[in-house]
Amino acid sequence: MTSHLQRQVEKIIDTGQGQSRDVIIRMGGPEVDTRGFMPLASEAIRRRLLVSSARDLLPVDADLLARSASKKVSANTRRKLASRSSSLTAQTALSVATVIGRVALRAAGLEALAPLLDSDFMGKVLAEASEKRRKGPVTQKLWSARSVAMTRIKLEDLAKLPSEVPGIQDIYPNRRLSLPNYARVQSLPQTIRDNKASAWGVHAIGALATWGAYGARGEGMKIAVLDTGVDAEHPDLVGKINDWAEFDADGNEVAGSTAHDTDEHGTHVAGTLVGGKVSGQWIGVAPAAKLAVAMVLDGEKGGTDAQVLAGIDWALERGVHVINMSLGGLTLFPDVPNTYTTAIIEALQLGVPVVAAIGNEGGQTTGSPGNDLFAYAVGATDHEDRAAGFSGGRTQIIRESNVLPPESLPLPYLKPDVSAPGVAIHSAIPNGKWAAFSGTSMATPHAAGAIALLLSATSIADIDGPQRAFLIQDLLTGSVEELGETGQDQRFGFGRIDVLRAIGAAIERGFVV
């Protein structure tokens, strides 16, 4: 372990500038029972490489899942679950994962940080900075990631860290994240302009039909938006922002902040999630849902991993049902940083899918956290169901991990998981205006909004723990409009989402309100 950490530290020191670094230190510590489902879930993801149809991913019936929750699972029930080897829901049902509440999960995460924060080493580092009256390191707890963000740690102290503090699992750079690339569309094709009732994406994924067929518009659901902020006074968003926070580059919440957008990006994403029809068109997939918005990116300065991880903590503490992250840092290689893996797993433990953009740098590139194994990654399509040229995707690989069991490694997998409308998307922008943008940032809220619709139309929200999160993902993925190559590919994932079909599949399997 020490050699692994030393390699990480050496790379951080060699690739940075100056006499200090900003890092994220991930700790081990008391394990909440995630390992019960990790081996089975990772194996299910591996098997997806050979799945020929998205329909093979659809979950088992509600009554079978209910029987799996009993203390004594019959051999027949176990056989039926095992037969669905590519279904994350079925594999989770076979596991012995313990459902744990938000308060207990947070407490366990904070407990894991104590060996670092209470160490003699950390005390000496902070005391030395105080004695020399210099601006010393700043630490911020990131409980869902089991991590501490540490700003301005001196190179000599960073080099000693792996040997001085027991229990450290990983040390990452606190990367700078730029505002995602997106394009304003000036001239819309006639086919798009012919959509009068709603923005074309709302119609394409079946959201408009869902409202009529099932009377579901996202009622009772709360979606977290980690982005550039939001114009809460936009006429399509008034009354829909339940919670607000702003975070700085160190991951600290900014006191006294009020809702605002440092760009147009966050408001546009929020509009696609829950916007109304003040513009004359319905722009939001789930217009009855509410938002919890965390500003983790500045329109000019960008953001950091620590800001985003702090936003995930904040969102989970507010009881959201899904997290939307139309952001990421470019990754060019098959190996991905697992900076976000633990936080995403903790969200899944609470039944919360983390929906993330795959990135806008084209084929054979992806963005982190969208390329994380357990993120629900979304690529972009246009109004003719073609993959957008800018939409990322590739085969990723995990060679070493402190989270996955060793027997699962190396683990190859494909991203994105699904695709959604992301070209020429009409939505809100600040100051009571509207515009059409293109980007995987625009596709992601279609998927997160679809999850809010799925939950409001079914009984799935009543299920606790990771089974709920994986059930949502299996239903949405298994019901896609299959496009591209057979099975999952690097352009469309398994295909373009269809929430009307997903709800129909859920109800057919007994998940009825």
Q: Which two tokens stand for residue 104?
A: 């207990």
Q: Which of 401, 441, 456, 479 is catalytic?
A: 441
CB 441 within 8 A of CB 403: no
Helix, strand, or coil here: 358?
A: coil
Torsion angle of the four alpha carbons 504, 506, 509, 513, in this order, in degrees rounded to the nearest 10: -100
For the chain, what is the radius of gyration of the CA atoms? 22
Catalytic status, residue 178: no
CA 73 to chain centre: 32
Distant-in-sequence, close-in-space partners of 487: CB < 8 Å, separation ≥ 6: 48, 49, 50, 51, 52, 53, 54, 494
Q: Which of 22, 144, 170, 265 is catalytic?
A: 265
CB atoms within 10 A of CB 172: 20
CA distances from 141 to 4, 380, 436 (A): 23, 34, 38
Q: Which of 22, 157, 170, 227 is catalytic?
A: 227
For 403-419, b/e burial (b = at least 16 CB within 10 A) is bbeeebeebebbbbbbb
**Using CA atoms, how far apart are residues 14 and 199, in angstroms rounded to an integer?**
48
Q: Which two tokens stand for residue 406?
A: 């060793």
Distant-in-sequence, close-in-space partners of 400: CB < 8 Å, separation ≥ 6: 4, 409
**Using CA atoms, how far apart are residues 60 and 67, in angstroms rounded to an integer?**
11
**Using CA atoms, how far apart are residues 66 and 82, in angstroms rounded to an integer?**
15
DSSP 493: B
Q: Which two tokens stand for residue 22?
A: 């900003």
Catalytic status, residue 441: yes
CA distances from 171 to 27, 160, 166, 380, 398 (A): 9, 12, 13, 33, 17
Q: Which two tokens stand for residue 106?
A: 């947070």
CB 142 within 8 A of CB 313: yes
**Using CA atoms, how far apart are residues 54 and 175, in angstroms rounded to an integer?**
35
DSSP string, 9-40: HHHHHHHS-SSEEEEEEEE--SPPS-TTTHHH
DSSP string, 323-335: EEE---EEE-SSB
CA 507 to chain centre: 26
Catalytic status, residue 265: yes
**Using CA atoms, how far apart are residues 38 and 402, in angstroms rounded to an integer?**
12
**H/E element, 141:** strand 138-142
- Show which residues are catalytic: 227, 265, 441
